Structure 1
């Protein structure tokens, strides 16, 4: 993982180049106050104070062109309210060195500065990378939490970007063990006969994979048992061929990212433990590969579940909800105060709200509103869709308690969430995020590829809910 630990440091007056911030509203006033030499340099660089633009200026108005005597003027959307990504493009473009804002502190913008350094170079060891651009801040108390957010985001990106051959169920298990070891958590893994007996849907989905990628349920526990129990669940389908209802090649191309929910759960667990939130954390990852072989589960099969419900298989490509059903049942057995699950669950969610917005479903209005508000506050937006009860009829089966795939192709994200709700214990607040976990095109601080979408929103909600206890 890219080392992000030393990119945000306390400002103790050490040598650093200055960054002056302007916005479109204040640009003309700022420019008028500059000497003519600066105005000419600004015009030559076509800088107009727009977001993500910058210009290089001599510190002394142009009288001395020594390399060490330059500073930067950068455009942002609003000087008075810096967002997480407003300095990210600048951090991507500046040369190695130390920098500080000439006025004020970076605040939220420090996150984008740090994440702009992210590179996925596991398979490109010869790629030249620019040296670190260190940002100084007088807000010392915010440095460590910001770096933790950036590192959790990088963890999600790394895991999602890694191809399935190197990110199978045993690799998810190893990642969980590494996070647990860093924070003194314990990990329990159920596999083999115990998995088949205790988590029959997880076993059924994953049994066709090669034994190296055998299915398993990974559980991490951390915290004081006296604190409120919070369950975090992540869908861990390490590769999804679609099973016997096989995907076309175009649909299979990005299925290395189908464990994105598991990556989000691990990133969030890392944030919870790093912040030492007073909760009893229970993280669960059902880890499988939905492969094809002679023993693959079939359309029309009827599966048992840990809850006792029988499930008719209408489509083997609707496998994520099956493994989550068993994990939700296991989480509910410990009577948590709250359950959150992340899953790259449906293409229907992407059609409805696009790649940037995780579709949010919840059985508790106050919880849904809290996550939505948190997402707005930290610029990690989510969009709520309804658990529309009348659509439950689409999941009826003539031969089992429920079918895993809705008929007719309508409301695919909603029917998937309604399926999951059948496995959530009554009275337990639950939120489900159908997240894409992928960025189709680059944005400042957010390269094309795997990304954490919805994780910071949920963490901010949890901090507000439990941080002051």
Structure 2
């Protein structure tokens, strides 16, 4: 941990956090030498900027850090890797950053996926006073970092079995029950769609399940798409399209990250986590375009394209989740390129049957700087996924409204009265920002956690 909870900060270097307005007000009150030094450095309090101020002995005396606003989840994220090694603390001279944001932003600012390439140097350490808010910030950072690690790990070391091992570890850490249905056992236990997509891979497909909590509490089901690598199947992707497909299990990683937070913070819910984990591979027994696949619900899917496999595996998992009649189902999936075309990498697409819930989640996401955007389950487009030889086809008649078509497809496997959120996310940063390096990302889990706390606490 690069954040340590300690009451004594006697030997730590102070950090004075300011925004532009706060620095403008504070600057005239500083010693003249400090004013001149900061002016020479060009420091103005701009977000993600900092200036090192020497003490009388020539050693580092204090740090001025520019932030966007005190409640921003990445307020201090530019500092841990940039500051000299050592211990730091937040000075009372600066703006008061809440302990949750301070802890989370510092930890995530220090994040690096170092499984294969070691860090060039240790990150700086922040000392914070012990307390519930700082601990919550650390819990959030831990879950987000773990989510990123899962997405960043190459498919060679993160296949269906390894994803199951990661889920089992989360279960063990929080006292949840873990089980999995593997390979041909999927057929015996009526998960034919998951089996069909994953059967061509040398690594067996499976349905991973975690259960946690008291029977007296409302049931919440999290469903995460766990396609550990997606070649596109027989409808093979291009080399460019396949390059980052290790991240196609990003929905599963985010579901596990959210589940870890729910259990760590002991929300009063009964939690079920379902992850259909497969590799969409090419082999002689791969499922084919034109095939008709039976699902757990009994509906028959015509395969229009084997590269639209995520919605096929999710169909069985959503049907299974619905059988338990939960208060809420949330599925998270790196489902469509169309959602990225519409909203870009930073905005996951949210689909819900209830407009008021959509507005509430969008507002909450904006407040927490963990955004998502409400998209319509536009019923007239259902005719675009009708099949002449099955109940439904896994591709639309055209490329138009691709994210909506995928959401409407999933809706077939959720009962009309069932409360359900579908989130089509990217799970990836395509450009670096403070605390958010290029690579795997946790998206919407802070917003969903806050929503669940408001709804069920």
In which range does the TM-score fall when normalised by the shorter chain? over 0.9
Q: What's the CA shift for 1:22? A: 2.1
The one-character-per-residue Cα deviations of 1:331-376 (angstroms, maximum 9, x if unpaired) are 0011000000100000000000000011110112333233223312
Tell me the residue number matched to 2:154. 163
C-alpha distance in 2 between matches for 1:39 and 1:362: 53
1:199 partnered with 2:191: yes
The one-character-per-residue Cα deviations of 1:301-320 (angstroms, maximum 9, x if unpaired) are 00000001011001110000
1:76 to 63, 67, 78: 67
Aligned residues: 452
Residue pair 2:233, 2:281 contacting (<8 A) in 1 also: yes
Residue pair 1:76, 1:82 contacting (<8 A) in 2 also: no
TM-score when normalising by structure 1: 0.93
Tell me the residue number matched to 1:239. 229
Tell me the residue number matched to 1:97. 86
Tell me the residue number matched to 1:172. 163
C-alpha distance in 2 between matches for 1:182 and 1:276: 13
1:389 partnered with 2:385: no
Tell me the residue number matched to 1:188. 179
The one-character-per-residue Cα deviations of 1:51-93 (angstroms, maximum 9, x if unpaired) are 111112245xxxx22426x001111224xx3311121102221
Q: What's the CA shift for 1:132? A: 4.1
Q: Counterparts in 2 of 1:240-389, with a 5 A limit?
A: 240-389=230-379
Tell me the residue number matched to 1:39. 35
The one-character-per-residue Cα deviations of 1:161-184 (angstroms, maximum 9, x if unpaired) are 111111000001100110111111
1:143 partnered with 2:134: yes
Q: Secondary structure at the match of 2:80?
A: helix
1:426 partnered with 2:387: no
Q: Secondary structure at the match of 1:456?
A: helix
The one-character-per-residue Cα deviations of 1:152-206 (angstroms, maximum 9, x if unpaired) are 1111111111111110000011001101111111111112333024111000000
C-alpha distance in 1 between matches for 2:456 and 2:123: 35
Question: Which moves more between the two structures, 309-318 or 376-385?
Answer: 376-385
C-alpha distance in 2 between matches for 1:274 and 1:318: 34
TM-score when normalising by structure 2: 0.96
Residue pair 2:184, 2:195 contacting (<8 A) in 1 also: no
Tell me the residue number matched to 2:77. 88
1:219 partnered with 2:209: yes
Residue pair 1:340, 1:431 contacting (<8 A) in 2 also: yes
C-alpha distance in 2 between matches for 1:413 and 1:313: 17
The one-character-per-residue Cα deviations of 1:406-442 (angstroms, maximum 9, x if unpaired) are 0111100000000001101221111011010000111
C-alpha distance in 2 between matches for 1:237 and 1:253: 14
Residue pair 1:8, 1:114 contacting (<8 A) in 2 also: no
Q: Secondary structure at the match of 2:78?
A: helix
C-alpha distance in 2 between matches for 1:22 and 1:424: 49
Tell me the residue number matched to 2:442. 452
Q: What's the CA shift for 1:138? A: 3.7
1:154 partnered with 2:145: yes
Q: What's the CA shift for 1:457? A: 1.1
Q: Secondary structure at the match of 2:79?
A: helix
